[in-house]
Amino acid sequence: STRALIDTLEADRHLDRNQWIAFFRGRTPEALEYLSTRAREVSRKQFGRDIYTRGLIEFTNYCRNDCYYCGIRCSNAKADRYRLTDQQIMDCCKQGYGLGFRTFVLQGGEDPQLTEDRIACLVTAIKDKYPDCAVTLSIGEWERSSYERFFRAGADRYLLRHETADPEHYRRLHPKGLSPEHRKQCLRELAEIGYQAGTGFMIGSPGQGPEQLAEDMLFIEQLAPQMIGIGPFVPHHDTPFAGERAGTVEETLYCIGALRLMLPQALIPATTALGTMAEDGRERGILAGANVVMPNLSPLGVREKYELYDNKICTGDEAAECRDCLELRMESIGYRLVVSRGDHPQAGKEE
Ligand code: SAM
Ligand code: FES
């Protein structure tokens, strides 16, 4: 039964491929309830009722890539493109620091005008000014030498979702030129360099079923990343996937619970996409085993332009409003936002 699989997963932190497939096929409201309870207990043991925050700075929506699911893909001529200046980015950090953020996430499309120099300088500037803060980069695929340079400049973490571990499925989501092997190679390099590395994938993307999800879980087990970002696929009206079905909150919560049981110490956000699919999506994410939230620090004027998918929440809210909103939301379920870098429990320790 699914319940027995959940018990096995909790005890062994492992399922084999066939067990994973049965686990995903066996998702019922009762199984989700049981899994969430187990996963919630595991995160309480690790993190208590502390929720880590990261200030998300979406600093460019230019992108050379053309991922079929993404609203800022290069073929979307309707996207209103912007890039923040260094000054604007530093202003976001300043505001964020005042609001209690001790991690800044610099996220953007693969902007062809971005240079290794600019990123390295930005990271150095932020770390000089805020030595007690962590910097996370989420800027896609670069050469190993560039990742090394960013790391030397002081970057602490890197987010690069593998998107799907099934190569055929990867090709259904991406045009030629993007390869699943290269994506995975980047992730291995990031880990070797010493980053706290984050991977992840969308839930309910077109062509995803129990088999694909099983591959994702096996890949993540093997990579053992420090962070795992997952959220529902949400269609964007100006993409080839405009007419596809969105992933559901329940599927997403089920995956969060599974990931928590597999990697008890992982940093797992309750994502904005989850909050987009249900008013209380992020709260439910926490109650299913997530332990991180990533409110938006981008300037109000560009919020709606970083439109990865339709109906994205918080595009009209000031950074302070988002922070307060999340604080209330977390308190309503008995958790608290903490002023902390929120590193992985093993970060900096010897292997
Ligand atoms: N360019 C960087 C990269 O590729 O890693 C960072 C930015 S990218 C927009 C961040 C993530 O957004 C992707 O990894 C993808 O999983 C997610 N995303 C893009 N389009 C989405 C959609 N329609 N629904 C849900 N998530 C989406
Ligand atoms: Fe932005 Fe709630 S987190 S308004």
pLDDT tens digits, one per residue of 60-105: 999 999 999 999 999 999 999 999 999 999 999 999 999 999 999 9
Q: Per the annotation, does 63 bind a ligand? A: yes
Determine the Cα–Cα distance for residues 205 and 170; give it in Å rounded to an integer.
10
Residue 140 lies in a domain: yes
Residues in the chain: 351
Residue 22 lies in a domain: no
Q: Which helix (H) or strand (E) holds 228?
A: strand 227-232
Q: Which residues contact 118 (CB under 8 A, 6 or more apart)?
A: 86
Which of 147, 161, 183 gets mutated to test ligand 1 (max ligand atoms within 8 A of its CB)?
A: 161
Structural domain total, the chain: 1
Q: Per the annotation, does 143 bind a ligand? A: no
Q: Per the annotation, does 93 bind a ligand? A: no
Q: Which domain holds residue 109?
A: 47-337
Rounded (5°) CA angle 256-300-340: 50
Alpha carbon nearest to ligand 2 atom 1, residue: 322
ipTM of the complex: 0.97
Residue 325 alpha carbon to ligand 2 centre in Å: 5
CB 76 within 8 A of CB 298: no
Phi, psi values for residue 106, rounded to 5° = -95, 110
Nearest one of 250, 170, 166, 162 to 201, comparing CA atoms: 162
Residue 346 lies in a domain: no
Nearest ligand for residue 297 CA: 2
Any ligand 2 atom below 6 A from CB of 325: yes
Q: Per the annotation, does 183 bind a ligand? A: yes
Residue 76 lies in a domain: yes
What pTM was computed for the model? 0.98
Residue 20 lies in a domain: no
Say how far residue 193 (Cα) sits from the centre of its chain: 20
Nearest ligand for residue 313 CA: 2
Alpha-carbon separation of residue 258 from 6, 43, 279 (angstroms): 8, 12, 23
Residue 72 alpha carbon to ligand 1 centre in Å: 9
Segment 99-125, tens digit of pLDDT: 999 999 999 999 999 999 999 999 999
Nearest ligand for residue 108 CA: 1
Residue 54 lies in a domain: yes
Q: What is the sign of the dihedral through the CA atoms of 45, 293, 324 and 106?
A: positive
Residue 255 lies in a domain: yes
Position 351 confidence tier, pLDDT thresholds 50, 70, 90: low
CATH number for position 245:
3.20.20.70
Segment 251-285, tens digit of pLDDT: 999 999 999 999 999 999 999 999 999 999 999 99
Residue 13 lies in a domain: no
Any ligand 1 atom below 6 A from CB of 273: yes
Q: Quick check: helix, strand or coil at residue 196?
A: strand
Rg (the chain; Cα; Å): 19
Residue 322 alpha carbon, nearest atom of ligand 2:
1
Structure tokens belonging to residue 94: 């300043």
Nearest one of 146, 145, 144, 152 to 127, comparing CA atoms: 152
CB 260 within 8 A of CB 42: yes
Segment 304-334, tens digit of pLDDT: 999 999 999 999 999 999 999 999 999 999 9
Which residue is it, tokens 């360099």? 193
CB 341 within 8 A of CB 103: yes
